[in-house]
C-alpha cells in the first residue's frame, strides 16, 4: 500500500512545530516581503538558503523530501518564464535564432537573465512559505488567522479546500493502484490512456466523496 506524505504530516513531524506559530509567520512574511520588495539577487539567494536551512536542519525535514517539494514550483516557473526567454519574429532577431517555416524562433536580449532573476525571486518566496507550512500544522495557521481577525468565511474556505486537496490525492492514489494492477502502465500509450481515465474517474469520485463529507 502506497502512503501519501502530506504537508501536514511533515509539519507534525517538524522539530520546530512547538515554536510559536505567530513568530514563524512573522519571519516568513518578513522574508517574503523583503525578497519581493528589494528584487536583489543576493537577497533572494540569502532568503532561499536561510529558509531552507531552517526547514531542513532545524525542522528535521530530509533534503530529498525538501527538493522533491521544490520541484513542483520549479517546473511551473520554467514553463512560465519560457515566454520571456523565447520569442517569435518574422525577421531575424536576438542573439541566437532558429529559422522555422514562416517565422524565426529567437532568444531575446536579456531574457535569460530576467527569467533567472524571476525564478530565483519566486523560489526564495516559496522557500519562505515552505518554512511556515512545513513546520506549522494547518489547524494552527487557521487559528492564527482567527486571532488576526481574518473573516471567518475565508478561514473556513481555506480549511475546506485544504481538506479536499487530500481527498483528491487519496482518490488518485487508489485509482492508480487499480490501474497498475490491470497492467495499465506497462507501456507509454497504455499509460496515457490510464492517466486520462484516472483523472476523469478521480474527479467523479472526488465530487461524490466530497458531497458525502459535506
Dump pLDDT digits (tens) for 43-102.
999 999 999 999 999 999 999 999 988 988 888 888 887 777 776 666 666 666 667 777
Query: Which sign, positive or negative, has the C-alpha torsion 64, 65, 69, 72?
Result: positive
CB 107 within 8 A of CB 28: no
pTM of the model: 0.73
CB 123 within 8 A of CB 1: no
Cα–Cα dist 107/87, whole Å:
6
Cα–Cα dist 69/182, whole Å:
30
Q: What is the pLDDT along the chain (214 residues), one digit of tens a residue?
A: 344 457 888 888 899 988 999 999 999 999 999 888 887 889 999 999 999 999 999 999 999 999 988 988 888 888 887 777 776 666 666 666 667 777 777 677 677 778 888 889 999 999 999 999 999 988 888 888 888 888 888 888 888 887 777 777 777 777 777 777 777 777 777 777 766 665 555 555 555 555 444 4
The phi, psi pair for 87, rounded to 5°, reads -135, 165
Amino acid at each position: 500500500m502506497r502512503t501519501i506524505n502530506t504537508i501536514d504530516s511533515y509539519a507534525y513531524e517538524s522539530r520546530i512545530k512547538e515554536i510559536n506559530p505567530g513568530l514563524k509567520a512573522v519571519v516568513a512574511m518578513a522574508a517574503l516581503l523583503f525578497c519581493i520588495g528589494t528584487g536583489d539577487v543576493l537577497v533572494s539567494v540569502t532568503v532561499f538558503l536561510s529558509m531552507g536551512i531552517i526547514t531542513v536542519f532545524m525542522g528535521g525535514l530530509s533534503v530529498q523530501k525538501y527538493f522533491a517539494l521544490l520541484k513542483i514550483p520549479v517546473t511551473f516557473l520554467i514553463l512560465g518564464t519560457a515566454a520571456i526567454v523565447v520569442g517569435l519574429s518574422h525577421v531575424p532577431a536576438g542573439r541566437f535564432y532558429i529559422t522555422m517555416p514562416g517565422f524565426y524562433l529567437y532568444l531575446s536580449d536579456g531574457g535569460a537573465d530576467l527569467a533567472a532573476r524571476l525564478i530565483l525571486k519566486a523560489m526564495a518566496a516559496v522557500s519562505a512559505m515552505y518554512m511556515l507550512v512545513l513546520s506549522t500544522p494547518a489547524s494552527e495557521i487557521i487559528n492564527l488567522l482567527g486571532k488576526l481577525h481574518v473573516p471567518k468565511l475565508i478561514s473556513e474556505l481555506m480549511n475546506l479546500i485544504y481538506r479536499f486537496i487530500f481527498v483528491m490525492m487519496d482518490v488518485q492514489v487508489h485509482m492508480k493502484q487499480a490501474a497498475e494492477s490491470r497492467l495499465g502502465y506497462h507501456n507509454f500509450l497504455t499509460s496515457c490512456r490510464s492517466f486520462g481515465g484516472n483523472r476523469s474517474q478521480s474527479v467523479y469520485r472526488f465530487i461524490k466523496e466530497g458531497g458525502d463529507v459535506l
